[in-house]
């Protein structure tokens, strides 16, 4: 399977807290760690560990974090030859606050990612054309993400949009998207609704599909996922993790698992079931890169319940 990823790289600085402090409060008892992050890079690493040949386009700064990123991609066997280094600019940094429940809050300083342009996508066109699937996320400028979707569409390569962080997307973009993977609040934001809108996932997925998206996969956490395509709508049950330790990389792991199986030619349903197993494994281990599994790490596919 050949997958091209257009997205972000950044350093995740994680603070594990007994609770989130209130305004003006200094809270002791935190545990700090830092490591590789960025949705695009996480998805690239996860896809490579799951057996895909991966080419990656992003932008990093001319700093030690950018150097460390290239070492990560080399070690994971990812083709990062098209990655852009932006002079006199810092690599993206994300600050992640993790509560004992595993829930997280993230703040991002984009840095070099703000300088990733549609012109850089043009240089990546041969990789997009050679891929079985192109994965794009929205931690990069929207115009750059759209350029990647359009370029892949022009070369005949199927596209998967992981719309995070979510933002309203112009209607003319949706026919360029073969698969979109929002959670419920992201689906609402994509359509210009409030993130806490009470519209059911089915209605949001139907609206996205009507705008031209081929397939919609709405992730619903412990409630599983909703799948909608030309064959209809169905629910996919969740895969119970061994434990919930850290949910930070779960969405990226799910997206990578889905992408790899679709690139293999699996059906949407089979790909989503595999992706749920990848996501369930990821939340059971602290931090992102250590949690992203190889195929050998996954629990067996659970047997269907007896009728």
Q: Catalytic amino acids?
A: 252
For 39, the token pair is: 């949705």
Degrees to nearest 5, angle at CA 251 with 201 and 304: 70
DSSP 52-77: -EEEEE-EEESSHHHHHHHHHHHHHT
What are the backbone dihedrals phi and psi of residue 297, each rounded to the nearest 5 degrees, phi first?
-85, -15
Please check whether residue 275 is in contact with residue 261, taking contact to mean a CB–CB distance below 8 angstroms: yes
The beta strand positions in 73-137, using DSSP E, are: 84-86, 92-98, 104-109, 133-137
Helices (H), the chain: 39-49, 64-76, 118-123, 125-130, 142-155, 184-190, 201-210, 250-263, 268-282
């Amino acid at each position: 399977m050949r997958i091209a990823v257009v997205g972000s790289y950044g350093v995740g600085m994680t603070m594990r807290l007994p609770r989130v402090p209130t305004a003006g409060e200094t809270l002791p008892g935190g545990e700090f760690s830092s490591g590789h992050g960025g949705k695009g890079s996480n998805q690239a690493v996860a896809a490579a560990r799951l057996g895909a040949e991966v080419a990656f386009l992003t932008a990093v700064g001319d700093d030690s974090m950018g150097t460390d990123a290239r070492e990560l991609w080399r070690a994971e066997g990812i083709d990062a030859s098209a990655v852009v280094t932006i002079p006199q600019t810092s690599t993206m940094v994300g600050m992640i606050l993790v509560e004992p429940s595993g829930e997280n809050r993230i703040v991002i300083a984009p840095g070099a990612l703000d300088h990733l342009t549609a012109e850089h996508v043009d240089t990546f066109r041969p990789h997009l054309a050679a891929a079985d699937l192109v994965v794009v996320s929205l931690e990069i400028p929207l115009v750059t993400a759209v350029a990647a979707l359009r370029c892949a569409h022009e070369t005949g390569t199927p596209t998967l949009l992981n719309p995070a962080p979510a933002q309203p997307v112009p209607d003319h973009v949706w026919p360029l998207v073969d698969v979109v993977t929002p959670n419920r609040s992201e689906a609402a934001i994509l359509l210009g609704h409030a993130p806490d809108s009470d519209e059911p996932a089915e209605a949001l997925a139907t609206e996205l599909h009507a705008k031209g998206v081929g397939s919609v996969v709405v992730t619903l956490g412990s409630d599983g996922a909703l799948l909608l395509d030309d064959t209809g709508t169905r629910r996919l049950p969740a895969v119970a993790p061994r434990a919930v330790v850290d949910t930070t990389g779960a969405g990226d792991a799910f997206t990578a698992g889905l992408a790899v199986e679709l690139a293999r030619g699996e059906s949407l349903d089979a790909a989503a079931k595999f992706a749920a197993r990848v996501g369930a494994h990821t939340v059971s281990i602290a931090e992102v890169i250590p949690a992203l599994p190889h195929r050998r790490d996954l629990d067996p596919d659970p047997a269907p319940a007896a009728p």
